[in-house]
Structure 1
Amino acid sequence: MMIQSEHFLFGDDIPVEDIGGGLSRQIMGYNEELMAVKVFFEKGAEGYVHKHRHSQVSYVEKGTFEVNVDGKIKTLTAGDCFFVPPNVDHGAVCTTGGILIDVFSPMREDFVGE
């Protein structure tokens, strides 16, 4: 049986989960191979340096972020993005308050409890 979200999702209907430390997330569309997640950062909130088995592309929708990928730090603003290969350390600090759109392959099973 395939794990997947509905075909059409409306932002106002998708719950936003407080994950602590000034971060919250909204799980958008997904199946076992792909997942999109909207992550809201309060000013100064930090996505701590971590790694996972998933490939990740993150798009900066709003705000300014100090992004660390494999020890290299760059400042990214709205319209920028970064790529993280599997099992590479990465993290981000939002200096202004902002939003990232994270895309994972395969899906983050830990985010939906599957």
Structure 2
Amino acid sequence: MTDKVFFDNKKYEWEEVAPGVTRQITGYNNDIMMVLVKFEEGAIGSAHSHPHTQSTYVESGEFEVQMGDKFQLLKKGDCFIALPDVVHGVVCKSAGTLVDVFSPVREDFL
């Protein structure tokens, strides 16, 4: 897919994906992808599932995270793992940014 090893963030546009939610792809190859996702307070990352493994780091803000039938409030420095096909989502309680890492690459984002 790509042989790039350096990604200039000025070349990747922020994309609105839901009301109050924007994302920017920061780097990827066939095996892995990193994406920044900014949320305004009250914005929702709707519950969904996908065949990718996802690791998410809370860079800033506070998020109520749904993982299957469990819910937990996560703050700056916390993280979660969404295994393939597990329903997950977030509600932003305090504006912030999530750093999502997917394996393999989310081709649907490209």
TM-score (norm 2): 0.95
Q: State the 1:106 CA deviation.
A: 0.5
Q: State the 1:11 CA deviation.
A: 2.7
Structure 1, gaps ≥5 residues long: none
Alignment coverage as a number of residue pairs: 110
TM-score (norm 1): 0.92
Deviations 1:35-58 (A, max 9, x none): 000000011000000000000000
Deviations 1:64-111 (A, max 9, x none): 000000110000000000001100000001111110000000010000
Q: Quote the Cα distance in structure 2 between the aligned partners of 1:78 and 1:13.
A: 27
Q: Quote the Cα distance in structure 2 between the aligned partners of 1:7 and 1:52.
A: 26
SS, match of residue 95 in structure 1: strand
Q: What code does the residue aligned with 2:75 have?
A: T
Q: Segments of 4+ in structure 1 off by > 3 A? A: none
Superposition CA RMSD, Å: 1.1
Structure 2, gaps ≥5 residues long: none
Task: Report what 1:30 is aligned to.
Answer: 28
Task: Report what 1:83 is aligned to.
Answer: 81
